[in-house]
Amino acid sequence: MDKKIVSVRGAITAQNTVKSITECSVRLIDAIYLRNGISDDDVVNVTFSLTDDVTAFYPARAVREAGHNVPLFSTLEPKIDGALTSCIRVLVTCYSDKPVRNVYLNGARVLRPDLCAVYSVALDGPSGAGKSTVAKAVAKKLGITYLDTGALYRALGLKLINFSVPSDDPKAVEKCLKNVQVGIKYTDGVQSVLLDGEDVSGKIRTPEVSMAASNCSAIPYVREKLLSLQRDIAKSQSVILDGRDIGTVVLPESEFKFYLTASPEERARRRYEELKAKGEKVTFEGVLEDVNKRDKNDMTRKIAPLKKSYDAIEVNSDNMTADEVIDYVVGIIAEAL
Ligand code: DC
């Protein structure tokens, strides 16, 4: 297909500060370039418009200062009753030989749900393979929502510990978790996990919680409880979920599936460094033992065990940096969008 002139639309909601307008405008342009496979060389011009409550800075200037050497223009929209507020819109006119991919970020999707495709990315793999680092970065680059599903199991594990309930006793676990409320909150794109209304994000990364999460995640009642929460989040927006059974059980219809793995020794080494940096008293041997135990738990449980979906792309990160894995995953997705 020959290149022809096309117009790509985009929008993002932002706060009325120089920082927010700068970050959001650049993120919007970067996501449009990435998803449409274009660069400055392809662009004819870029026109931003702002709702009249976003006046702290010019998106055109932000994008120019970020190094984009293209004709840029910003303008203010009329105030229309009932219109989405705090919004930066953009029209990128460019040469392209691909179908147009419009980009709506930070809730701006409500403006034109008809213009954007929803897709999901499943990223499964054993503990310590680097899933959350990769998923977070991929989500940011593509402007989609990240859900760390392990955090949900960890929140339940924490509750069991708080109530001194053995995490491998199905009856006791069910009784303790009968009325539990687990929720997710996003602040500026960062996920927090709520356990019975309390933000427990800072309390769920200990080895003790890891083991309780792994144990209770083998219990059907627990998995059932978290299934609809995960699916609901993926229903109305593009997402990347990391976990153990995303490609096989939670979102078997995902457009993109990856299985990220690394040897137990390499995974233990990474986790050991991470815990040591946090000041935790751990030994490498202890961490390796935990890794092997959790692998066994996660891979051999009867319900939704960790396994590579037949249609997932396997990535072994033993000899790859995090950035290499991220670029590889983003590349595959961006190519297909
Ligand atoms: O990814 P993580 O280490 O934060 O996950 C903690 C535990 O939760 C893990 O050992 C297994 C379980 N888990 C799961 O069974 N299914 C998921 N989708 C995510 C996590």
pLDDT tens per residue, range 90-120: 999 999 998 888 888 877 877 887 777 789 9
Q: How far is the CA of 271 from the centre of ligand 1 (A)?
A: 15
Which of the four pLDDT bands, split at 50, 70 and 90, describes residue 33? very high
Average pLDDT of span 149-169: 97
184-193, 210-219, 242-251: which range is least confident on average? 184-193
Mapping DSSP to helix (H, G, I), strand (E, B) and coil, where does residue 38 land?
coil
State if residue 213 touches ligand 1 by the CB under 6 angstroms criterion.
Answer: yes
pLDDT of residue 223: 95
Q: How far apart are CA 255 and CA 312, in angstroms?
A: 10
User: Which pLDDT belongs to residue 34?
Assistant: 84
Tell me whether residue 5 is exposed, middle or buried, using C-beta atoms within 10 angstroms of its C-beta: 0 to 12, 13 to 18, 19 or more.
exposed
Mean pLDDT, the chain, as a whole number?
92
Nearest Cα residue to atom 3 of ligand 1: 127
- Best residue among 133, 153, 223 to mutate for probing ligand 1, ranked by most atoms within 8 Å of CB: 153
Rg of the chain over CA atoms, in angstroms? 22
The reported pLDDT for the residue numbered 291 is 94
Residue 82: the pLDDT is 86
> What's the 125 CA to ligand 1 centre distance in angstroms?
9
Question: Which residues, at least 6 apart from 21, have a Cβ–Cβ distance to it below 8 Å?
Answer: 14, 15, 54, 56, 57, 58, 59, 62, 88
Whether 247 lines ligand 1, by a CB cut-off of 6 Å, is no
pLDDT at 241: 97
**pLDDT digit string, tens, across residues 283-313:** 999 999 999 998 998 899 888 899 999 899 9
The residue count of the chain comes to 337
pLDDT at 242: 96
Return the H-helix or E-strand segment holding 103: strand 103-105
CB 100 within 8 A of CB 6: yes
Percent of the chain with pLDDT over 90: 74
**Ligand 1 and 217: CB distance under 6 A:** yes
Strand (E) or helix (H) holding 207: helix 207-216
Average pLDDT over residues 128-147: 92
1 confidence band (pLDDT: 50, 70, 90): low
The bridge status of strand 4-13 relative to strand 87-96 is: antiparallel
Strand partners, 75: 49
Task: Check if 25 has its Cβ closer than 6 Å to any atom of ligand 1.
Answer: no
The alpha carbon of 73 and the centre of ligand 1 are apart by a number of angstroms equal to: 47
Q: Looking at residue 337, what is its pLDDT?
A: 66
Residues 167-175, mean pLDDT to the nearest whole number: 97
The secondary structure of 102-143 as a DSSP string is -EEETTGGGG-GGG----EEEEE--TTSSHHHHHHHHHHHHT
Judged on CB neighbours under 10 Å (0-12, 13-18, 19+), 203 is middle
Q: How far apart are CA 113 and CA 100, in angstroms?
A: 15
